[in-house]
Amino acid sequence: MNERKQFWTLRYTLINVSYFAAFCTVHAYAAVYLLDRGFTNTRIGILLAVANIASALLQPVVASVIDRGGFFTNRNVIMICAAAIAAGSGLLLLMHDNRVAIFVIYALIYMIQFTYMPVMTALNFEYRLKGVDIFYGLARGLGSAGFAVTSAIIGKVVEAEGVRVLLYCNIAIMLVQIVVVWFFRIPERSSAEDEDREDPGDAPADTKDNGRGRTIVQFVRAYPAFMVMLAATVFLFFTHNMLNDYLIQIIRPLGGSESNLGIATFIAALLELPTMAFISAASKKISMRFMLVLAGISFTVKAVIMMLAVNIPMVYASQAMQMLAYAVFIPASAYYVSTNISAHDQVKGQAFVTSCFTLAGVFSSLICGVILDHLGEKAMLVCGSMVSIIGTALIIISMKMSPEEGK
């Protein structure tokens, strides 16, 4: 890796690390915080579902606004969202027993953070089109490492100091991200040079459009295989979100605590790093269709291991499957979009993938919270495993439908 690539990769890595460190405190510890505030599993499920619905609706809208150009660039949207999360966390520090206010503010924080996840990915591909060489897989993998380190530390701190420490972390991390993104400025280039770089050479021939992004309806009609892939993503991430959002409820009946939660999430996130770095380096040689199928199968294996878990080590074994499931799916889907979707629909394509993450979270939050309260964690895990099997079947079908260029 040359020095210029190292320089830009380091800066993009800092953006990812700050994002996923806060993702850990907001998402991985959502149930921990809300249970402490007196919420039931069902109410937590409703809150997360509301936040996910709003995020799923907002992501394509934000993507369309960014695709049109103007003030709302990828970079500016990231800074606006980070500032909003910091402000919301500050407001929560002022709340005590006002559950309505806590519900609204936490839902907004949760929604905003999911909303700008595809913008983070789109920022990388935007800069690549402008001639900035970034090792995406390494940067994204180190972002997961940031999640892992945060999780390993924060579990013990929360157990010792209480849940308010999560809010202080949110504020500090988001302020760091604003500073890093502020200085992450695209190099000045001539308009002619930008035009030369605007359309990636490996995009499918039939998606090299006239320079205008498609409407959402046109987009759906133009990419049928991608639509099936999105359906598969909803099913797979139903179970993925279930395991993330309700992991503390799975661990406690096995004799675990917040410290075990921190270790479990640390294992999953740390193992994402080598996989993501490998996929980025091998993206020109290994079919992304194959990698997405591998990820789909691994999601289901992870769910089944968790369903069968009778002790904490089995929970850790399930979490270790993250290196072949989520860690493969995230970069593979990003590269799949970059090579199968028109350059002028890139932000929209990335947003649709992330919208499916959040849509899956809607169903997962609503259904799993109720199952937990009425039938228990084992019934929830059986349901999640069955849903994941359907997702695996759909991802296989979608990749068979995909054009050969999707590598």
**What are the tens digits of pLDDT across the range 219-274?**
777 778 888 999 999 999 999 989 988 888 899 898 888 788 888 888 887 888 78
Q: Is residue 143 in some structural domain?
A: yes
**Domain of 292: which CATH number?**
1.20.1250.20
Q: Which of the residue ranges 14-23, 117-126, 388-397 would you say has the lowest mean pLDDT? A: 117-126
Q: Is residue 67 in some structural domain?
A: yes
Q: Is residue 406 in some structural domain?
A: no
Decide if pLDDT at 335 tops 70: yes
pLDDT for position 208? 42
Q: Is residue 207 in some structural domain?
A: no
Q: Is residue 407 in some structural domain?
A: no
Q: Is residue 66 in some structural domain?
A: yes
Q: Is residue 260 in some structural domain?
A: yes
Query: How many structural domains comprise the chain?
Result: 1
Using one digit for the tens of pLDDT, what is the confidence trace for 152-176? 788 788 888 888 899 999 999 999 9
Q: Which of the residue ranges 4-13, 298-307, 383-392 would you say has the lowest mean pLDDT? A: 4-13
Domain range holding 7?
3-201+212-401
Counting every residue written for the chain, the total comes to: 407
Q: Is residue 79 in some structural domain?
A: yes
State pTM to two decimals.
0.69
